[in-house]
C-alpha cells in the first residue's frame, strides 16, 4: 500500500473542483485530513448548540447544517472512492446538497452527536484510503456524469473540507455572537 497519495493531475477530477484544489497545500493529503479532523473539533470546542443553530446571513445554512453537509459529503465521496476503486462501471449519481441539508434535521441534533458522526465517518474513510493500492488510486470512474480517479476523489474530499472550514472560520466564527 502507498504511504502517501500523490496529488492528482488536473485531468483526474472535474473542472469545477479546480478552485477547491487550489486551496490545498502541497504535502501528504492523509496527514492533512487527520489534521482537519482535529482542527474541526477545536473550532467547535466552545460553540453551544444554540450558537450552532444560527446563520451568518438570511437563507444560509446554520453551523450544524454545514457540519451535516460535510458529513454527507464525506460519506458520498467515500462511497464513490470505494465503488471506483472496485472498478464499478456504472455512473455514480450526483446529489442535491440543499435537499440533503433540508431533510437532515441537523438543527434538532446535539452538536456533540454531529461531531461524533463526523469523526466516525472520517476515520472509516481514512482506514479505507490507507488500504488502497497505487493501482486502485489510479482507477477512473464516473460520478455525477464526470470522470474522476480515486486519487482525485481523495484530494477533492480534503479540498472540499478545507473550503467549508474556511467558511466556518470566516463567516460564522469571526462574527460576534
User: How do residues 28-55 score in pLDDT, each as one tens digit?
Assistant: 999 999 999 999 999 999 999 999 999 9
User: pLDDT value at position 140?
Assistant: 98
Identify the burial level of 79 via C-beta atoms within 10 angstroms of its C-beta, where 0-12 means exposed, 13-18 middle and 19 or more buried: middle
Tally of residues, the chain? 177
For the chain, list the domains and their CATH numbers. Answer: 10-173 (1.20.120.450)
Question: For the residues 137-150, what does the mean pLDDT come to?
Answer: 97
Cell of 4: 502517501
CA 39 to chain centre: 14
Whether pTM > 0.85 for this model: the answer is: yes
Q: pLDDT of 7-32, one tens digit each?
A: 999 999 999 999 999 999 999 999 99
At 4, the pLDDT band (50, 70, 90 cuts) reads confident
Amino acid at each position: 500500500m502507498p504511504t502517501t497519495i500523490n496529488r492528482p493531475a488536473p485531468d483526474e477530477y472535474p473542472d469545477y473542483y479546480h478552485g477547491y484544489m487550489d486551496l490545498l497545500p502541497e504535502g501528504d493529503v492523509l496527514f492533512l485530513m487527520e489534521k482537519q479532523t482535529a482542527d474541526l473539533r477545536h473550532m467547535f470546542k466552545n460553540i453551544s448548540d444554540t450558537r450552532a443553530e444560527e446563520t451568518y446571513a438570511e437563507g444560509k445554512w446554520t453551523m450544524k447544517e454545514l457540519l451535516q453537509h460535510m458529513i454527507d459529503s464525506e460519506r458520498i465521496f467515500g462511497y464513490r472512492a470505494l465503488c471506483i476503486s472496485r472498478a464499478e462501471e456504472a455512473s455514480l449519481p450526483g446529489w442535491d446538497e440543499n435537499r440533503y441539508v433540508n431533510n437532515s434535521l441537523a438543527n434538532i441534533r446535539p452538536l456533540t452527536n454531529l461531531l461524533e458522526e463526523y469523526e466516525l465517518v472520517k476515520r472509516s474513510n481514512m482506514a479505507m484510503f490507507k488500504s488502497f493500492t497505487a493501482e486502485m488510486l489510479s482507477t477512473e470512474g464516473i460520478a455525477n456524469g464526470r470522470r474522476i480517479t480515486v486519487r482525485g476523489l481523495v484530494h477533492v474530499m480534503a479540498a472540499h473540507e478545507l473550503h467549508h472550514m474556511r467558511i466556518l472560520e470566516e463567516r460564522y466564527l469571526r462574527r460576534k455572537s
